Amino acid sequence: MYQDFTILPPTIILAPLVCYSKKRLFEELGEGAGAVLERSTYDIIHALNDREWAGSTVVADGVAIPHAKVAGKLPALAILCLMDKKIPFNTIDSDPLDVDIAFSFYFSPEANIEDLQLMLAHLADIFDSSDLRASLRRSHHDESKVLQILHKIDRLLVKKLKLEDDEEPAPKPAAAAAVQDEAAEH
Residue 83 pLDDT exceeds 70:
yes
pLDDT of 168 > 90? The answer is: no
pTM of the predicted structure, to 2 decimals: 0.85
pLDDT at 92: 61
**Hey, which CATH number is domain 11-185, 3.30.565.10, 3.40.640.10, 3.40.50.150, 3.40.930.10?**
3.40.930.10
**Is residue 154 pLDDT above 90, yes or no?**
yes
Quick: pLDDT tens for 53-73.
Answer: 888 899 999 999 999 999 888
More confident residue, 72 or 10: 10
With cut-offs at 50, 70 and 90, classify the pLDDT of residue 186.
very low
Cite the DSSP H helix spans in the chain.
Answer: 22-37, 41-53, 113-126, 130-138, 143-164, 174-185
**Looking at per-residue confidence, does 182 or 132 come out higher?**
132
Longest dimension (CA), the chain: 47
Give Cα 166 to chain centroid, integer Å.
26
Report whether pLDDT(137) > 60: yes
